[in-house]
Amino acid sequence: MNKINKPLRFSYWVLTGLALFLFLSGMLLPPVNAKTNNVPTLLWNQTKIPNWEEITFDSLPPIGQAGEVTVNSEGLKHYKTQPFRRWQAGTPIAQVLTLGDFRQSFRFQEKNLAEIAERTNLSLKEISLAQFGVIRFQTLGSLLRAVPGLAEFPLVQIPPVYDLLVSELSGGEANINIHPNSRYRGKMVSYTPTLVNWQIGFDPEQTLGDFLSESPHLESLSLSNLPLENYSIQDVPNLALTTLGDLNNWEAMTIAEVPGLSSIPLNELSPNGIQATGTMIATVDIALGPQEQNRTNTISGSDVEGFNVPCEKECAHIELAGNPSIHGKQWISGKYQQVRGGHGPLAVVNGGMEPTGRFLFGETGEWPFKVVVWDVSEKDGTAEMSLFFRACMAELGCTPYFMGPVPLMTVNERDSVLLGQLLPAGSVSSGGGSGSLGTPGEFSAPMNEILADPSVQSWLPTPANRCDRTYQGVVLDALGTAFSQLTQTSAALESHSCRSGECVERVGPYRMPANHPSLKPAIASQAGGSDSRNPDGWLSTAVFDAAYGEIAMGLIERSAAQIDPLTGKPFTGDRLVERVAQLYFAGSAIPIDSLAVDSFGNTVADHSTRVAAKYRSAYQQMNCRG
């Protein structure tokens, strides 16, 4: 028996050992597709960058964290659309982001369904109205105004409109069967106008335009009352030719609710293609974990705080090597460090914070997303780069870039990495980027020229460091330093103040209009006349300081008397400083949190949030208390 079983026992142990080996190998070795979330890339100057010609919203990995956009403020109740949105981890990003989020970057509002269908080979006759998310927000009136030529079509040639009128004007018994769970059965109505005209109470051959001009009270009838899944896009003549931005509430429609949009490469969605903000390249020298602390030589941050934000603790980062301007710089992980972001009333969302990072792609001030170093593995020498998005609304500005992470790609030690435009330490990126891929290692020429100008360097006055010089809680010296630093480090700040067609030069360390009542007498007396050209060279700093103090206190008093729409109470704290900055740079008539733009594309709200951030920094450096 034993002799007979010996070969069997041998085979048993061989097979068992082999199975155990394979099992353990599967556990210990990384799976082949461990990085399946990474998007298509290409090499540019030996540097791996995303291939935006192949990346679509559909192909992007799902969002990694749950979140919501909500503003609990009495002051926002008067806005017609409330900025509420909620999503779970694992939700496709196209179901989270709306068209309004990209008003300034991809400009979806300028596209139409016909263009999208042609690009994606989509048959619109097979697409129902229910799949076009914005239709549920339309009324007869909004449809009439948005769809080109629709006013000239007879009612009988617009099936959804005809059916809606039949239902509302005659109870729908003659033409529409009642669905047990709604007002309709899932079947398109069949109609014969000449037979039912006497039943429905309107002339089906009358044009929509004429009908609504005679019955304007019916403009408010909503298409959401219809079973929209029973109608195709082509059942509304010229709907496919309608510019998306002309449709009511287009901003609230998610990307997934526009048939075909999420399958178009991102590079084609952007009017000028997705271009790099700058051309600086570095080498990933080493990846370090969250045990790192007190890192100050950084190149990460936000457009509000600048891109040299120091990190005190949990400073996971990639340390960079390359030319002297970037050697030893640290790109801090946004998984651990949060910085201030956002503009306008929506800046309060997520506590006003977003992951630290950089803007590598898109036009300045119109970045569609932020690139963030996320997971850093010191053991493996790798770092995962992720995208973060923001929510925007025309009336309310934009939230911080906090909607993510959406995994982008992984970089390893010794890999090259794109940094975009590298600004001087402490500066805020409000100037124009290069907008194209050029020679590696460049700064933007306008920024270099401005910072190299001795007259610019002399603008920044020596801080008085007096915390007791306050007015209604605002430290005047800290505010003055904030104004000075903004004008010193921002390439995109108007050198002239233009109102009602008249332009006046901004002068002095605080960039006040030369014709301001507080300056005109001094300029006239010291210049020997009323010529205010180039007073920087001969007007004393004391004169500018005195004028600034008078102006600042007046604006603080005016701002403190106004009501903050975010709180429903008078402006205080940071918001008071922001409002003062808005009046300072844009004039006393500027609306609160205005999104009016200057010639550089920066909004009034943009400048005000940057002033507030610099005010806090100056306040802390002066060791003020209170």
DSSP assignments along 471-524, one per residue: ETTEEHHHHHHHHHHHHHH-SSS-SEEEETTEEEEEETTTTEETT-TTTHHHHH
Kindly indicate the confidence band of residue 597, based on its pLDDT and cuts at 50, 70 and 90.
low
The neighbouring-strand residues paired with 409 are 385
Task: Give the strand pairing for 382-389 and 330-332.
Answer: unpaired
Whole-number percent of the chain with pLDDT over 70: 69
More confident site: 592 or 522: 592
Q: Which residues contact 414 (CB under 8 A, 6 or more apart)?
A: 283, 284
Mean pLDDT score, 66-80: 68
Contact 424, 489 (CB under 8 A): yes
Average pLDDT over residues 160-175: 73
pLDDT tens column, 324-352: 888 899 999 999 999 999 988 888 899 99
Average pLDDT of span 386-415: 93
Task: Please give the average per-residue pLDDT across 231-253, as a whole number.
Answer: 94
pLDDT value at 592 more than 80: yes
* Distance separating alpha carbons of residues 241 and 280, to the nearest angstrom: 42
43 pLDDT above the threshold of 60: yes
Does the pLDDT value for residue 536 go beyond 60? no
Locate 537 and state its tokens.
């060279």
Report pLDDT for 292: 94
> Would the pLDDT of 134 be above 80?
yes
3-state secondary structure 51-92: CCCCCCCCCCCCCCCCEEECCCCHHHCCCCCCCCEEECCCCC
For residue 210, what is the enclosing H or E element?
helix 208-214
Render pLDDT for 472-519 as a digit per residue (tens, 0 to 9): 888 888 888 888 776 544 443 444 444 444 455 666 666 666 666 666
Q: Which residue has the higher pLDDT, 564 or 355?
A: 355
* pLDDT computed for residue 163 by the predictor: 92
Cα separation, 116 vs 106, whole angstroms: 14
Q: Is the pLDDT of residue 463 over 60?
A: no
What pLDDT does residue 349 have? 92
Residues 515 and 596: their CA atoms lie apart, in Å, by 23
Q: Is residue 103 within 8 Å of residue 111, measured between CB atoms? A: no
Share of the chain above pLDDT 90, in %: 42
Rounded mean pLDDT of 267-274? Answer: 85
What's the CA gap between 14 and 268, in Å, rounded? 58
How many CB atoms within 10 Å of residue 534?
13
HEC readout, 407-451: EEEEEECCCEEEEECCCCCCCCCCCCCCCCCCCCCCCCHHHHHHH
How do residues 558-574 score in pLDDT, each as one tens digit? Answer: 888 888 888 888 888 88
Inform me whether the pLDDT recorded for 423 exceeds 90. Answer: no
CB under 8 Å to 262, separation ≥6 — which residues? 56, 57, 58, 94, 255, 256
pLDDT mean across residues, the chain: 76
Residue 28 has pLDDT above 60, yes or no: no
pLDDT at 517: 64
353-355 and 392-393 beta bridge pairing: unpaired
pTM over 0.85: no
Q: Taking the CA atoms of 269, 272, 274 and 277 in sequence, report the sign of the dihedral they define.
A: negative
**Backbone phi, psi, residue 464, to 5°:** -70, -20
Mean pLDDT throughout 345-367? 87
Check residue 547 and give its pLDDT. Answer: 72
User: Could you tell me the pLDDT band of residue 221, with boundaries at 50, 70 and 90?
Assistant: very high
